[in-house]
Structure 1
Amino acid sequence: MDSGTDTSPAAFSFLTTAYRTERYIPETIESVLAQTRGDWELVVVDNGLSDEMARVVEPYLADPRIRLVRQDNRGYAGGIAAAVARARGRFLCVLDSDDHLMPEFCARVGAVFDAVPGVAAVACDAQLFTDDGPLPGGYMRSIGTARRRAGDERLTVRDVLGGEVPYYTAAIRCEAWEAVSAYASGLEEVDESVIVWLRLASRFDVRIIPDRLARYRLRGDSDSRDESTVENFERQLIRSFESGAEWAQTQEDFEALDATLRRLRYHQSLRRARWAFRDGDLPDARAAARAAFSHRHTVRAAVALSAVTVAPGPVRMLYPAKQRVAAAVSRVTAGITSRVQSR
């Protein structure tokens, strides 16, 4: 059905904190407006008092379901907190200001709540995309979760400790949100979404719809290639899982956690080896490659260690060409996928 401007009490409250995303947020708002189920509200927080952000959002305020809150920049968690304080829906849903919902998000997620009244949170998978179009695969596969859930399985602490961290845009009952202090854990230097899902899975019935009901943007202007930003992200993610030991109860839980930490530290060490080698720091490159091999005895780690130990000169000569080829392949793949999947 056409959602129109349904003014019935909101079931879904979308919490969108916006900072320096003026060029993206119109598409995000449009994706909410396109919902086939209309009992939602959208609280946009201008998290930085941007006159341009206010100008971009203002035309959408004609819809009574959309509201704008303006405040000084209080960080990501502070923006979400400001949105929660003004939310009136039964289910709270974080939605970043550059990502999208698929039209059936509210209808499909709401159907799970209707079918299983005891469910406290419902998550889904998401399609990866860039400014150039969709990318192959989905969010869950990108984080190493290959298995496809049936949709009626309960997410367990062991699942999360094993790396199955649901996509962040999910619907969480207000009571459960408050019970786990979502996005307000009080822990420092952690990825809050990991903590949220661990706390929810340890106390409530959480389900994951296997379909991609959202779109997760990988931005070309992000800091994902900046070493300090990546290093900080990796550190926070590892610390989050280290904190997860608090929720581990069985030997299998601890084994799942250990496997996840080894995997994260392995990729962190490989990245450090690659960037140290790029910068000509062979001692650090060798140390990082040895660390990667100690975490996981893979062929990739062994090759990296051999390359920086036995024949660093030829490898350094090949490295720029390899990077150019990889970048070209990525651009071509994204372009082909965009054309094939365009609507």
Structure 2
Amino acid sequence: MGRLISIIIPCYNDSQYIEKAVDSALDQDYENKEVIVVDDGSNRSTKKVLKELKSKLSILVTQENKGPAAARNRGINVASGKYILVLDSDDYFEPSFCTKAVKILDSGNHKTITCQARWFKNENECRVFKPSGGDIKKFLLWNATLSNSMFRKADWQEVGGYDEKMTSGFEDWEFFIRLHANGGKTYVIPEVLFHYRIKDDSVSKKASTLKFELLRYIYFKHEVLYKEHYTLIIDHLLDRLEQEERTKVKKTESLEFRIGSNLLKPFRKLKRLFRT
């Protein structure tokens, strides 16, 4: 029958999409699974939908709003499975993901299993995202997997779960840094088996506005790890700066930039006259 998988779905004010996420968990062709939804202090309309879905679920947990990290930890705490799959309430998997992921997780020195993803806003606006996967060297530079990935509950326990202080985003990346710190890799299934919904009010969009604050938190929390890989980090930062500089030069040398600059010259002169 295979090892039990616990699929954890944190939900906050997602009445429109939660049923699709639940159905994608239930429709996994891997049989030995449980589906756990954590209602993270949702509004009335979402609670109504969750009440209608309750009979389909293995467990429905309700708590006051504490953020995605706390909701994931709560769900994993009550889970019985050896393997954990986290699924956000507005996204969904293809039915074969669990079967393929378990086979790989059983067979090698992998900490997480992920796949390629279809990022979509609607049916006409979409693109394929391919996580890099890899070991701690990759995770120190960027999140090399999807937040919706499979891992062992024992590994989650060993590193202390998700950081519940991180309520504004990047909590999944920080968790995966700790998960890979003592070895192991992320394996990327080379197929599009996950669908990530892009919403205007998503946590990931909010995180981008606080990017440098969140990066500062991660870098200082893992100061020892970053010092151990000093050369790698400096090379990466210098490559990024060089790439940005090339982009800047390319932009300033473009015909559009030169035309725009010439058109604005009279207005700049007027602005200087008014200042004087």
TM-score of the aligned structures, taking structure 2 as reference length: 0.78
In structure 1, the gaps of 5 or more residues are: 1-7, 150-154, 267-293, 318-343
Contact residue 183 and residue 196 of structure 1 kept, 8 A: yes
Tell me the equivalent position of 1:246. Answer: 224
CA distance in structure 2 between the partners assigned to 1:44 and 1:312 by the alignment: 58
CA distance in structure 2 between the partners assigned to 1:13 and 1:224 by the alignment: 24
CA distance in structure 2 between the partners assigned to 1:37 and 1:206 by the alignment: 23
Return closer, same or farther for 1:184/1:127 CA change in 2, 3 Å cut-off: same
CA distance in structure 2 between the partners assigned to 1:184 and 1:239 by the alignment: 11
State whether structure 2 residue 174 is matched by structure 1 residue 198: no
| AA aligned opposite 1:298 | E
Give runs of aligned pairs for residues 112-151 of structure 1, distance below 5 A: 112-116=104-108, 119-133=110-124, 135-140=126-131, 145=132
CA distance in structure 1 between the partners assigned to 2:176 and 2:201 by the alignment: 28
Q: What is the Cα deviation at residue 101 of structure 1?
A: 1.0
Paired residues in the alignment total 261
- What RMSD over aligned residues (CA atoms) do the two structures have, in Å? 3.4
Q: What is the Cα deviation at residue 121 of structure 1?
A: 3.0
TM-score of the aligned structures, taking structure 1 as reference length: 0.65
Tell me the equivalent position of 1:321. Answer: none
Tell me the equivalent position of 2:157. Answer: 178
Return closer, same or farther for 1:158/1:223 CA change in 2, 3 Å cut-off: closer
Tell me the equivalent position of 2:25. Answer: 32
One of 180, 187, 194 as aligned partner of 1:214: 194
Question: Percent of aligned positions with the same letter in both sequences?
Answer: 19
Tell me the equivalent position of 1:59. Answer: 52
In structure 2, the gaps of 5 or more residues are: 268-276
Tell me the equivalent position of 2:274. Answer: none
| AA aligned opposite 2:139 | V
Tell me the equivalent position of 1:105. Answer: 97
Q: What is the Cα deviation at residue 261 of structure 1?
A: 4.6
Instruction: Using CA pairs under 8 Å that are at least 6 residues apart, name the structure with larger relative contact order, 1 or 2.
Output: 2
One of 64, 78, 86 as aligned partner of 2:78: 86
Q: What is the Cα deviation at residue 71 of structure 1?
A: 1.7
| AA aligned opposite 2:71 | G
Return closer, same or farther for 1:225/1:105 CA change in 2, 3 Å cut-off: closer
Report the 3-state secondary structure (helix = DSSP H, G, I; strand = E; otherwise coil) of the residue aligned with 2:73: helix
Tell me the equivalent position of 1:168. Answer: 147
| AA aligned opposite 1:247 | L
